């Protein structure tokens, strides 16, 4: 009998490119049929065939409280009953801006948008407008959304300008993006030595979470801060994923380095479309209507979306929230490591706050080149073994995973037991 997931996927492919509205959902790299989800509650999701899974994707990061948290759902319903959108200011936006500035001391002014992509795109335009320079530095393997300047990969050799990594991105745009190696402080220093006076901004995922998970070397972040300050370039921390996920003050609080601008998304919308960018007043004051850098949005600061974000952020303020989330996430990694070691599977894992990386290689990678050495066939075997046993991990070897506050001891133990069985049959 053909499954309902399969039926839906076939129907979807008739009218939606590849059957999905965002490419990684299509299961292309792992093979098989994407699951169409019907309900989510706490740590669990249920698909169209009625199969339930413990979820380690969490909508790719936003669902730090788990699915359909009652307080978040209530806040959304209440806001919706008062009107879905006004295209005019509302009090909840002010409350959100105040809360974000309280939580992240590097934010003096903040503007709300509707996605992480919008946040990074706008922050870069602002940095260029502020400095009067065009050149942008990014790091290979870091993802900052899908705007033109950011869909760029390294050219051949060091210190070459980028090539488009997507069709439809003009080479002329890619030319303004310099792509360097993540965690390579010397490479960054060399780039500044050659191009410093032309660099408008450096944008970085403080913890890289879009090439699996790579932890930053402290010297890399410090060198980046020093170089930007010395050369008058804007340092943008893209905390769309890490913001309130790795700790209560974001990755900037965890590593003690202060950016000029920060971009946020995911957790700050609690599952609804909210993004934000903010930072130093002097820079943020260049945005329209205060300044000449244009940025706008019909649904920016949407009251229903902001209600979900505010309800989520307030619950994260409970004492010990992040410590407990980090402990649970570490338990998962430790259990998976022990299971792999017991059965002689080449595997490593690590967690930072509520996010984790699993690697089919002997040690946790520190660079893009190292993460590319992971055994993707082994990952795919693990992925499908776990999926069949009711544990839903991201359908790609190059994505970080997420634990929510709704994941209990028993959920983690059940996932570790399933991995033990998968590794035993390895």
User: Does residue number 238 form part of the binding site for ligand PLP (CB under 6 A)?
Assistant: yes
Contact 234, 131 (CB under 8 A): yes
> Which residue minimizes CB distance to ligand PLP?
116
Which positions from 7 through 36 interact with ligand PLP, judged by CB under 6 A? none
Q: How many degrees, rounded to 5, is the angle at CA 396 between CA 207 and CA 13? A: 130
User: In which residue are the tokens 């929230």 written?
Assistant: 321
Minimal distance, residue 148 CB to ligand PLP, in Å: 14
Name the one range near ligand PLP by CB under 6 A: 49-57, 69-77, 81-89, 114-122.
114-122
Contact 211, 398 (CB under 8 A): yes
Minimal distance, residue 401 CB to ligand PLP, in Å: 13
Name the one range near ligand PLP by CB under 6 A: 74-82, 188-196, 233-241, 299-307.
233-241
What radius of gyration, in Å, describes the C-alpha atoms of the chain?
A: 21
User: Does residue number 120 form part of the binding site for ligand PLP (CB under 6 A)?
Assistant: yes
One residue of 93, 205, 260, 411 binding ligand PLP per CB under 6 A = 205
Minimal distance, residue 309 CB to ligand PLP, in Å: 13
User: Does residue number 117 form part of the binding site for ligand PLP (CB under 6 A)?
Assistant: yes
Rounded Cα gap, residues 355 and 48, in angstroms: 27
Contact 416, 332 (CB under 8 A): yes
One residue of 59, 115, 212, 329 binding ligand PLP per CB under 6 A = 115
Minimal distance, residue 146 CB to ligand PLP, in Å: 7
Name the one range near ligand PLP by CB under 6 A: 113-121, 223-231, 345-353, 354-362.
113-121
Who contacts 67 (Cβ-Cβ below 8 Å, separation ≥6)? 39, 40, 41, 42, 43, 44, 45, 55, 406
Nearer to ligand PLP, 142 or 345 (CB): 142
Which positions from 275 through 294 interact with ligand PLP, judged by CB under 6 A? 275
User: Does residue number 233 form part of the binding site for ligand PLP (CB under 6 A)?
Assistant: no
Rounded Cα gap, residues 374 and 161, in angstroms: 27
Q: Which two tokens stand for residue 411?
A: 């959920």
Minimal distance, residue 254 CB to ligand PLP, in Å: 15
Q: Which two tokens stand for residue 407?
A: 């994941």
Q: Which residues are catalytic?
A: 143, 238, 266
One residue of 33, 92, 149, 210 binding ligand PLP per CB under 6 A = 210
One residue of 69, 111, 128, 144 binding ligand PLP per CB under 6 A = 144
Helix (H) or strand (E) holding 77: helix 70-81
Backbone torsion region of residue 390, taken as left when φ is above 0, otherwise alpha when ψ lies between -120 and 50, otherwise beta: left
Q: What does DSSP assign to residue 36?
A: P
User: Does residue number 206 form part of the binding site for ligand PLP (CB under 6 A)?
Assistant: no
User: Does residue number 240 form part of the binding site for ligand PLP (CB under 6 A)?
Assistant: yes
Minimal distance, residue 192 CB to ligand PLP, in Å: 23
Half-sphere exposure of 230 (CA within 13 A, CB side): 11
Helices and strands (DSSP H and E) totals, the chain? 14, 16
Rounded Cα gap, residues 300 and 364, in angstroms: 39
Nearer to ligand PLP, 241 or 419 (CB): 241
- In DSSP notation, 106-154 reads T-SEEEEESSHHHHHHHHHHHHHHHHT--EEEEETT----S-GGGSEE-
User: Does residue number 145 form part of the binding site for ligand PLP (CB under 6 A)?
Assistant: yes
Which positions from 327 through 386 interact with ligand PLP, judged by CB under 6 A? none
Name the one range near ligand PLP by CB under 6 A: 78-86, 92-100, 236-244, 362-370.
236-244
SS3 289: coil
Contact 286, 126 (CB under 8 A): yes
User: Does residue number 212 form part of the binding site for ligand PLP (CB under 6 A)?
Assistant: no
Where do contacts with ligand PLP occur on this chain (CB under 6 A)? 115-117, 120, 143-145, 205, 209-210, 238, 240-241, 265, 275
């Amino acid at each position: 009998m053909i499954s309902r997931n399969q039926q839906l996927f076939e129907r979807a492919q008739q009218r939606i490119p590849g059957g999905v509205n965002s490419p990684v959902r299509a299961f292309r790299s792992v093979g098989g049929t994407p699951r169409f989800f019907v309900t989510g509650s706490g740590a669990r999701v249920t698909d169209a065939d009625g199969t339930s899974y413990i979820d380690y994707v969490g909508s790719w990061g936003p669902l730090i409280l788990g699915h359909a948290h009652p307080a978040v759902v209530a806040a959304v319903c209440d806001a919706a009953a008062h009107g879905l959108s006004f295209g005019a200011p509302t009090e909840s936006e002010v409350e959100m801006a105040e809360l974000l500035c309280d939580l992240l001391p590097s934010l003096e002014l903040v503007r709300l948008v509707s996605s992480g992509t919008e946040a990074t795109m706008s922050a870069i335009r602002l940095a260029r407008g502020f400095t009067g320079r065009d050149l942008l530095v990014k790091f290979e393997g870091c993802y900052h959304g899908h705007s033109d300047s950011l869909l760029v990969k390294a050219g051949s050799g060091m210190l070459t300008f980028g090539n488009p990594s997507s069709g439809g991105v003009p080479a002329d745009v890619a030319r303004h993006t310099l792509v360097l190696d993540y965690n390579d402080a010397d490479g960054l220093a060399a780039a500044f030595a050659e191009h410093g006076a032309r660099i408008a901004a450096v944008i970085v995922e403080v913890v890289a979470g879009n090439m699996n998970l790579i932890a930053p070397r402290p010297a890399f972040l410090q060198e980046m801060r020093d170089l930007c300050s010395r050369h008058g370039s804007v340092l943008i921390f893209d905390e769309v994923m890490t913001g309130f996920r790795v700790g209560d003050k974001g990755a900037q609080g965890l590593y003690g380095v202060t950016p000029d601008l920060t971009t946020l998304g995911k957790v700050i919308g609690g599952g609804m479309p909210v993004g934000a960018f903010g930072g130093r007043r002097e820079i943020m004051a260049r945005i329209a209507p205060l300044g000449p850098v244009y940025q706008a949005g019909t649904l920016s600061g949407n009251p229903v979306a902001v209600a979900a974000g505010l309800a989520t952020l307030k619950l994260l303020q409970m004492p010990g929230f992040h410590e407990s989330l980090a402990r649970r996430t570490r338990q998962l990694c430790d259990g998976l490591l022990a299971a792999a070691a017991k059965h002689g599977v080449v595997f490593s894992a690590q967690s930072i706050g509520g996010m984790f990386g699993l690697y089919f290689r002997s040690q946790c990678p520190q660079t893009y080149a190292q993460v590319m050495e992971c055994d993707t066939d082994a990952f795919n075997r693990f992925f499908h073994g776990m999926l069949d046993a009711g544990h839903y991990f991201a359908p790609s070897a190059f994505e970080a995973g997420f634990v929510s506050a709704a994941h209990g001891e028993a959920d983690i133990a059940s996932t570790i037991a399933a991995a033990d069985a998968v590794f035993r049959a390895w």
